Amino acid sequence: MKASTKIWLAIAGILLIALGIMCLKNPVATLLSLAWVIGAGTLLTGIAKLVFTIRTQAFLPNSGTRMLSAILLIVLGFVLLGHKFFVTSSLPIIFAVWVVIEGITIAVQSFDYKKVGFGGWWALLLFGIAAAILGCMGLRNPLVAAHTLSILISAGIIVLGASYLLALLGIQKFERITRIP
């Protein structure tokens, strides 16, 4: 691998770690940024769907419903971008509800795993119950959930940066092993 490629990988890893530390120091800014990404992502998804619908309406049926869906996504994207503080304050509640629903789903599905003889069904049951309880705790105190969400995002970014640097070490070892004398 070229030395310049390794340098870019190292720079990316260091920048991700620095970004993660900045996110840890500024949890509100982290959630505001996440709200902006959600709004921009929704807007871009709507635009892409609109272009797809326009280009395929001649041979795909029901283009009217796809067109309506695309327009609604575009409008929603603008609304989300224009109301970042509402989105930011809603994120912990949205994620908490999602964790509760997924936790309950996993707990219920664990019994299906038990029926087919999977020995780890009880771990799925416990994880599902734990997730549902943690989600309920997030609903009970959204400010703590917001701070926790920000910490998790920050930690994830730091771990990504560290994994880039670790991958760089792995690449160097791989190159030493595969070098033909």
The DSSP code sequence of 54-95 is: HHHTTTSS-HHHHHHHHHHHHHHHHHHHHTHHHHHHHHHHHH
Residue among 10, 23, 7 nearest 157 (CA): 23
Q: Does residue 135 contact residue 100 with C-beta atoms inside 8 Å? A: yes
For 78, the token pair is: 């603008």
The DSSP code sequence of the chain is: --HHHHHHHHHHHHHHHHHHHHHHH-HHHHHHHHHHHHHHHHHHHHHHHHHHHHHHTTTSS-HHHHHHHHHHHHHHHHHHHHTHHHHHHHHHHHHHHHHHHHHHHHHHHHHHHHHTT-TTHHHHHHHHHHHHHHHHHHHH-HHHHHHHHHHHHHHHHHHHHHHHHHHHHHHHHHHHHH---
The confidence score (pLDDT) of residue 180 equals: 57
Amino acid identity, residue 76?
L
User: What DSSP designation does 119 have?
Assistant: T
Number of domains in the chain: 1
| Residue ranges making up the domain that contains 25 | 3-178
pLDDT band at 116 (very low <50, low <70, confident <90, very high): confident
User: Mean of the pLDDT values across residues 109-138?
Assistant: 90
Residue 144 has a CB neighbour count (10 Å cut-off) of 12
User: What DSSP designation does 104 have?
Assistant: H
The confidence score (pLDDT) of residue 75 equals: 93
Q: Does residue 135 contact residue 98 with C-beta atoms inside 8 Å? A: yes
The confidence score (pLDDT) of residue 71 equals: 94
Q: Write out pLDDT tens, residues 14-70.
A: 998 998 899 889 888 888 888 898 889 999 999 999 998 888 887 777 778 888 989
Q: Would the pTM count as exceeding 0.75?
A: no
Q: Which residue has the tokens 């792995």?
A: 170
Q: Which residue has the tokens 């326009």?
A: 54
Does the structure show a pLDDT above 70 at 129?
A: yes
pLDDT band at 127 (very low <50, low <70, confident <90, very high): very high
Q: Write out pLDDT tens, residues 143-181.
A: 888 888 889 888 888 988 888 888 888 887 777 777 755
